[in-house]
Amino acid sequence: MTTAKEPILDVAHLGHVELLTPKPVESLHYFTEILGMEEVHAEGPSVYLRGYGDYATTSMKLTESKDAGAGTLAWRAMSEAALMRRVAAIEATGRGEGWTNGDFGRGRSYRFTDPDGHRMEIYYEEEKYVAPPHLRSTLDNLPMKYTGKGIGVRRIDHCALLAADVPANRTFVEDALGFRLREQVMYDNGTKEIGSWMSTNNIHHQLAYVVDNKALHGRMHHFSLWVDNRDEVLRAADIFAENGIAMEAGPSKHNNSQAFYIYTIEPGGNRIEVYTSGFFVTAPDWEPVVWNEERRGTGVYWGAALPESFLDYATPNKPGAKVPAGRKIPVFDPS
């Protein structure tokens, strides 16, 4: 018998991820031409993008900024009533900042920060994507044509954030938002929480907190987008190589999540993961899997070891720290 707490089923999924970039033109090229996302809107310093399988009008926002990093992460509530319940719970923690008018594609949103200072919002009203004629799919159940452009990421998947105090942030999102813990890394005989992987739905994790070994605040380790199978990750490696995009890690397989991955640093400096095959969790009484340092290692199940930069680099970057070079294949220069 398990004695799980009554679950809070008020948050549906990760709805919108905003990334900040000091190189907006180059970053936009990476997301549209290399990853194959579709641009749907531009406003002020921001461009709004989507994967071909995202049901919402937009799932990602790219905003010009002095430094790279995560902007606002927005979580979609299950209903208007669910939204109000979560807002009350957030307000009770003292971390609420109030209502905003939302953003392109979504209605009013309630803004808050997690204990580490990452900016988040929760909302319910979402504008569903209506494809223009040239992007209409021949499948009635696909919101947008699969164009085959670039890597062709289907949808956004998860964000991995760094936090100086992992347990404080994990318990905040568990208690205020209903996140359920899937896997965890505990060092020092189970006394030191190094990382926690969580979700509010069947996707293995939509949010991870990993300890910031620089003890800084509000930083992002990576943002991950989903493709349907391993072949597409391998094809992504070819596309990155042909376009001079440095590959920092992978293609390899994680032990926790069991996912197949490749990491690159987009031109603005953010670490981006192309990801597939993470297992889904359906058990309502799922027992979190706890890995110790010996069993987990660096999180690589098989494949090449992670470079030092993977443990060291995050955005915004620590002043003076180098952006990972990765293995960059020189691109042929016809001039």
Residues that bind Fe ion (CB under 5 A): 224, 273
Provide the minimum distance between the beta carbon of 210 and Fe ion in the complex, in angstroms, as a whole number. 10
Judge whether 241 and 247 are in contact, CB under 8 Å.
yes
Q: Which is nearer to Fe ion, 157 or 193 (CB)?
A: 157
Q: Which is nearer to Fe ion, 87 or 160 (CB)?
A: 160
Provide the minimum distance between the beta carbon of 223 and Fe ion in the complex, in angstroms, as a whole number. 8
Spatial separation of the C-alpha atoms in residues 316 and 335, rounded to whole Å: 35
- Alpha-carbon separation of residue 117 from 20, 78, 113, 254, 257 (angstroms): 16, 25, 5, 28, 26
Q: Which is nearer to Fe ion, 54 or 273 (CB)?
A: 273
Provide the minimum distance between the beta carbon of 205 and Fe ion in the complex, in angstroms, as a whole number. 8
Provide the minimum distance between the beta carbon of 226 and Fe ion in the complex, in angstroms, as a whole number. 10
Provide the minimum distance between the beta carbon of 145 and Fe ion in the complex, in angstroms, as a whole number. 27
Q: Which is nearer to Fe ion, 224 or 277 (CB)?
A: 224
| Residue with smallest beta-carbon separation from Fe ion | 224
| Helix and strand counts by DSSP (H, E) for the chain | 6, 18
**Location of structure tokens 């060092």:** 187
Provide the minimum distance between the beta carbon of 16 and Fe ion in the complex, in angstroms, as a whole number. 18
Task: Give the alpha-carbon dihedral of 221, 227, 228, 231, to 10 degrees.
Answer: -100
Spatial separation of the C-alpha atoms in residues 144 and 136, rounded to whole Å: 5
Computed from CA positions of residues 226, 232, 235, 237, in that sequence, does the dihedral angle turn out positive or negative?
A: positive
Q: Which is nearer to Fe ion, 103 or 273 (CB)?
A: 273
Q: Which is nearer to Fe ion, 103 or 157 (CB)?
A: 157
Q: Which residues contact 266 (CB under 8 A, 6 or more apart)?
A: 19, 21, 27, 30, 31, 245, 272
Helix %, strand %, coil % for the chain, to 5?
A: 20, 35, 45
